[in-house]
Chains A and B, each alone.
Chain A
């Protein structure tokens, strides 16, 4: 149909009818289920990306000793055996603007024993070198584009691994729904929740993120930092919780929130020219699609 108004109207009516049919179907099914009682057919489960996901070969099986050995014997072995306390250096790209600066400051509040420093136009390699000498265990570099933080480089010292994440949807503490004030956060060490890191790569990333925090959280502070992985996006949240009973916990969101997406993972410290990439997102677009998209 050529007339846009008529076309839209027709489309609307069509949609309305469809919805009506759907609603009726639902109603009928509900009635039937009630009438049949226990014999009712099982509820239909909606198809989601999560439950239609193909089994990944690298999905970690916790019972497999070989795999767990492999995972636990990486660069973070010494952290998880509690031999050192992480000390983190946080910097930004060359000329940070207010949002990035605030973001970095908030990060220092979240990572215990972390410091932020101005970049002063030094190169990442030089910075890592000097950080090694000063006994830092991790370096975090926040990249900025159009005055908004857009990337995060996390490098473990002294020898890797290094990961680059895309940052999106940054919401600072002062922009949160409840007017939190960053200065009022307690200095208790937060506990870390890592959800849904199932594959080998996911495990590597989760261990990297976990090792930015102190291994011994102070539960009194009731602060929880969450990295939740869903469809390759890692959602960062920062809450204060309270257990109402054994079955309920109340949450209050505190600090910044942002989303990470892994761009690449390198074996050693930062070296984009000669470095050994363990995983890189470039050229993986079709591989990473859901199975439905790939087959059709």
Chain B
């Protein structure tokens, strides 16, 4: 009952339910197909001598179809279980498909290789830690978010932190780093500043080395230097921050009331003066046309 050519001519020319036409290629959806392509040599319907490899629950099976059995569709496929080891399985294929065309044998081996590879990959993925998807609980989220906002307001963070810091200062956690009242101290510093300008460059490095060893217990001299540095740093900071600060939150307004702000306001005045001049100029300009007229 060899009518392969007739079958193929029908499949090829007209309709096949397994056929998938794409722009570039034709594919076959039949699960017995050896390559997945729709062509004469790989068509499981139009070849009465055919073999393929399939995977069922992690086991590979070799399916074979011969011309002799084509009259009994129930017994058409001969199913052989292949060994788990790839080498043995390849040898089995060689044995069973001795008289088959080379194309089939080759493709069967290829297919077996691919299947064994994806089985290995599957096992590996399964062993690795897996992500667990958890449903989003919107209501709960919203409630938590709302309560967080309210807790933030109730916390009054800035005042709480300030309070804690001041308490630490009172308790003497900071040792002799801070010395209030500072007015007299600052004056003394200013006098010394001029004398030590040359020294400063060297001192920076030394101080930082010292910090690691004994940050709490510093000698008086070092302390003075440190304070100098600090005061310098502060100036730099506030000059940077001032212009923004004035318009910002009240909580941060603490930073404003220091000397640099005064200097800034002076600057502002100097800025305003030229503006006045400009106005004056416009007046003169308005006079000019009069003269011309």
Residues on A with C-beta less than 8 A from B241 are 178, 252
Q: Which of B147, B152, B154, B161 contacts A251 (CB 8 A)?
A: B161
Known: A218-B215, A219-B174, A248-B254. A239 touches B161 (CB 8 A): yes
Residues on A with C-beta less than 8 A from B151 are 230-233, 235
- Which of A7-15, A153-161, A220-228 makes up part of the contact surface? A220-228
Is A193 located at the chain interface by the 8 A CB criterion? yes
In the complex the two chains form, what is the Cα distance from A251 to B250 in whole Å? 11
Say yes or no: A219 contacts B177, CB within 8 Å.
yes
List residues of A (26-68) whose CB comes within 8 Å of B's CBs: 48-50
Is A117 located at the chain interface by the 8 A CB criterion? no
**0/1 string, B224-251, CB within 8 A of A gives 1:** 0010001000100100010010001101
In the complex the two chains form, what is the Cα distance from A50 to B156 in whole Å? 13
Say yes or no: A226 contacts B154, CB within 8 Å.
no
Is A195 located at the chain interface by the 8 A CB criterion? yes
Residues on B with C-beta less than 8 A from A130 are none
**0/1 string, A155-193, CB within 8 A of B gives 1:** 000000000001011000000011000000000100101
**0/1 string, B172-198, CB within 8 A of A gives 1:** 011101101100000000000000000
In the complex the two chains form, what is the Cα distance from A259 to B178 in whole Å? 32
**0/1 string, B119-149, CB within 8 A of A gives 1:** 0000000001100000000000000110110
In the complex the two chains form, what is the Cα distance from A247 to B248 in whole Å? 23
Which secondary structure dominates where chain B touches chain A?
helix
Say yes or no: B169 contacts A246, CB within 8 Å.
yes
Residues on B with C-beta less than 8 A from A247 are 166
Residues on A with C-beta less than 8 A from B165 are 193, 224, 241, 243, 249
Residues on B with C-beta less than 8 A from A168 are 144-145, 148
Q: How many residues of A contact B (CB 8 A)?
A: 45
Say yes or no: A252 contacts B170, CB within 8 Å.
no
Say yes or no: A233 contacts B147, CB within 8 Å.
yes
Say yes or no: B234 contacts A242, CB within 8 Å.
yes
Residues on A with C-beta less than 8 A from B144 are 166, 168, 261
Identify the closest chain A residue to B181 (Cβ).
A245
Is A123 located at the chain interface by the 8 A CB criterion? yes
Q: Which of B148, B169, B237, B249 contacts A243 (CB 8 A)?
A: B169
Is B158 located at the chain interface by the 8 A CB criterion? yes
Is A70 located at the chain interface by the 8 A CB criterion? no
Is A250 located at the chain interface by the 8 A CB criterion? yes
Say yes or no: A230 contacts B154, CB within 8 Å.
yes
Residues on B with C-beta less than 8 A from A249 are 162, 165-166, 169, 254
Residues on B with C-beta less than 8 A from A253 are 252
Say yes or no: A178 contacts B244, CB within 8 Å.
yes
Is A216 located at the chain interface by the 8 A CB criterion? yes
Known: A177-B248, A251-B252. A193 touches B148 (CB 8 A): no
Is A120 located at the chain interface by the 8 A CB criterion? no
Is A267 located at the chain interface by the 8 A CB criterion? no
Residues on B with C-beta less than 8 A from A188 are 211
Identify the closest chain B residue to A246 (Cβ).
B180
Say yes or no: B157 contacts A169, CB within 8 Å.
no
Is A97 located at the chain interface by the 8 A CB criterion? no
Identify the closest chain A residue to B141 (Cβ).
A168
Say yes or no: B164 contacts A220, CB within 8 Å.
no
Residues on B with C-beta less than 8 A from A123 are 129
**0/1 string, A201-222, CB within 8 A of B gives 1:** 0000000000000001111101
List residues of A (77-123) whose CB comes within 8 Å of B's CBs: 121, 123
Residues on A with C-beta less than 8 A from B248 are 177
Say yes or no: B177 contacts A220, CB within 8 Å.
yes
Residues on A with C-beta less than 8 A from B162 are 241, 248-249, 251
Residues on A with C-beta less than 8 A from B244 are 178
Say yes or no: B154 contacts A252, CB within 8 Å.
no
Residues on B with C-beta less than 8 A from A224 are 161, 165
Is B255 located at the chain interface by the 8 A CB criterion? yes
Say yes or no: A246 contacts B166, CB within 8 Å.
yes
Is A292 located at the chain interface by the 8 A CB criterion? no
Say yes or no: B161 contacts A237, CB within 8 Å.
yes
Residues on A with C-beta less than 8 A from B175 are 219
In the complex the two chains form, what is the Cα distance from A61 to B21 in whole Å? 79
In the complex the two chains form, what is the Cα distance from A169 to B141 in whole Å? 13
In the complex the two chains form, what is the Cα distance from A235 to B153 in whole Å? 11
In the complex the two chains form, what is the Cα distance from A246 to B158 in whole Å? 17
Distance in angstroms from A217 CB to nearest chain B CB is 8
Q: Which of A50, A169, A220, A241 contacts B148 (CB 8 A)?
A: A169
Give the 7 A-B residue pairs with the shortest CB-CB distance, closest first.
A230-B155, A250-B254, A231-B151, A230-B151, A218-B215, A233-B151, A249-B165
List residues of chain A with CB under 8 Å of any chain B CB: 48-50, 121, 123, 166, 168-169, 177-178, 188, 191, 193, 195, 216-220, 222, 224, 226, 228, 230-233, 235, 237, 239, 241-253, 259, 261
List residues of chain B with CB under 8 Å of any chain A CB: 128-129, 144-145, 147-148, 150-152, 154-155, 157-158, 160-162, 164-166, 168-170, 173-175, 177-178, 180-181, 211, 215-216, 226, 230, 234, 237, 241, 244, 248-249, 251-252, 254-255
Could you write out 27 A-B pairs with CB less than 8 Å apart? Answer: A50-B154, A168-B148, A177-B248, A177-B249, A178-B241, A188-B211, A193-B165, A195-B160, A195-B161, A216-B215, A217-B215, A219-B175, A224-B161, A228-B157, A230-B155, A231-B154, A237-B157, A241-B165, A243-B166, A243-B178, A246-B170, A248-B166, A249-B169, A251-B158, A251-B161, A252-B237, A252-B252
